[in-house]
Amino acid sequence: MQASEAWGERWSNAVLPMARRYMEVACEKQSLVCLAADRNTMAGLMDLIGEVGPYIAALKTHVDLVDDWSLEKWTELCNLAQEHNLLIFEDRKFADIGKISKAQMGGIYDIRSWSDIVTAHLISGPDIVDGLQSAWQEKDREGGVLLLAQMSSRGNLLTEEYSENVVQVGVQSDGVLGFIGNGSRPEELKTLRMRVGEQKMIWTPGVNLNVGDGEMGQRYGDPYEAVLAGSDCIIVGSGIHRADNPAEVAKQYAQVSWKALINR
Ligand code: 5BU
């Protein structure tokens, strides 16, 4: 199926090249799954990507939780992700002023050189998006920022009013790929989608085929419901990487997410 057909208005309204790239990859793979690869060894990560690579569209990393991290091994991981045609998404949750966030795209991890997408809070104001975009530009790379408009964890401090303000600023900003929405509460996602409109993406953590409470305040909603409510990408971590057969389970998430998109 053509991306324009599957994604409809989201495709025709997309401004950022990264948005279309994601929609194309999702169509090729028939999967709206972003794997949250929260394993803390390089070998564990490589095994996981090797197993589930065919069933996912994006790879979400936390570069700073790996015990045996090295630039050489990380480059291998990025190459493997590229072989599987995955977007690489560093969930760094930048929050500082623009120039420092820009500098933090460098450093040892050099996130600007391999990430396609990063997350940011808008707590410090709109210049954070320009800071992150200019870090990619200096490396002649394209990227997209996902702003946290909601979170999946219980008791978080992202109030309705705050969320509305994030959306208001974010929809106007070319460097913004979209927003993080809370996958554990479909009704919150619906409200978010109404506010966001049809142009920007909503990516959602806090989804699992086993709905309910997770560890340390994490909450899970149903991935099918999340997509129907307006999510464009389901971010799944332990549901896949802790499963006995990650490939089989990743395939299930892919099928559920694709079916939901087509029905939407
Ligand atoms: P889980 O194992 O599916 O619970 O992993 C969820 C991942 O999504 C994990 O990497 C979190 O850092 C990430 N996440 C989240 O769970 N909730 C949020 O609101 C945001 C990110 Br933003």
pLDDT (tens, 9 = 90+) of the chain, 264 residues, equals: 899 999 999 999 999 999 999 999 999 999 999 999 999 999 999 999 999 999 999 999 999 999 999 999 999 999 999 999 999 999 999 999 999 999 999 999 999 999 999 999 999 999 999 999 999 999 999 999 999 999 999 999 999 999 999 999 999 999 999 999 999 999 999 999 999 999 999 999 999 999 999 999 999 999 999 999 999 999 999 999 999 999 999 999 999 999 999 999
pLDDT at 1: 87
Q: Give the chain's radius of gyration (CA, Å).
A: 17
Number of domains in the chain: 1
User: Is the shortest distance between the CB of 111 and ligand 1 below 6 Å?
Assistant: no
116, 45, 62, 118: which is closest to 87 by C-alpha? 116
CATH of residue 226's domain is 3.20.20.70
User: Is the shortest distance between the CB of 189 and ligand 1 below 6 Å?
Assistant: no
CA of 2 to the centre of ligand 1 (A): 30
Q: What is the atom index within ligand 1 of the atom nearest the CA of 238?
A: 2
Domain limits at 110?
3-263
pLDDT at 8: 95
User: Is the shortest distance between the CB of 91 and ligand 1 below 6 Å?
Assistant: yes
Catalytic positions are 93
User: Is the shortest distance between the CB of 144 and ligand 1 below 6 Å?
Assistant: no
Q: What is the atom index within ligand 1 of the atom nearest the CA of 152?
A: 19
Ligand 1 atom 17: residue of nearest CA: 152
Lookup result for tokens 């996912």? 56
pLDDT at 201: 98
CA of 44 to the centre of ligand 1 (A): 18
